[in-house]
Amino acid sequence: MGKLPGPLDLPPVWLAMALGLVWLLDALVPWGLFGPSAGLFGAALAGAGLILMAAAALHMLARRTTVIPKNDPAALVTSGVFRLSRNPIYLADALILAGAILWWDVPHGVPLLIAFIALIQHRFILDEESRLRRLFGADYDRYAARTGRWFGRGR
């Protein structure tokens, strides 16, 4: 069993804080730039993010590896949604946040989305990549070469 993380070592905590900030921006400085159809697109983005997150987590659990970011994985998962992204759960977080920005019509929240992606990459992804490279060596390097960090083709 892996170590239990502190609250700031859990990406959902960062997502919840970012969502709270977007909601606060909407409450303090309502804008109304995107229009009503953006809300539907935002709901679809957030829904897609939730589905992607669930698919990735279930796939990791099926492979008997951890979903806790700071713990060493027991397996290198490269199939399922991991064929599309090396970090589908973090991609899902970004989709949920982007969806909330559209749903609440907060275009001034876009810099927060960019900051969130940068924070996730520097606080979690780079460390995970280093650990995966150490644990799985050439297998991880081949996977990284063909699969993008966030989405698409490798590196």
pLDDT in tens, 63-94: 999 998 888 999 999 999 999 999 999 999 99
Q: What is the pLDDT of residue 1?
A: 46
- Residue-wise pLDDT for 19-33, tens only, equals 999 999 999 988 777
Instruction: Please give the share of the chain, as a percent, with pLDDT higher than 90.
Output: 80
pLDDT higher than 60, residue 4: no
Query: What pLDDT sits at residue 3?
Result: 60
CA distance 120 to 108: 20
Domain-wise residue ranges, the chain:
16-25+33-146
Long-range contacts of 30-34 (CB under 8 A, 24+ apart): 30/105, 31/105, 31/106, 31/107, 31/108, 32/105, 33/105, 33/107, 34/102, 34/105, 34/107
pLDDT tens profile 87-134 = 999 999 999 999 999 999 999 999 999 999 999 999 999 999 999 999
Stretch 144-152: mean pLDDT: 94
Q: What is the dihedral of CA 145, 49, 53, 81, to 10 degrees?
A: -40
| Amino acid 70: pLDDT | 84
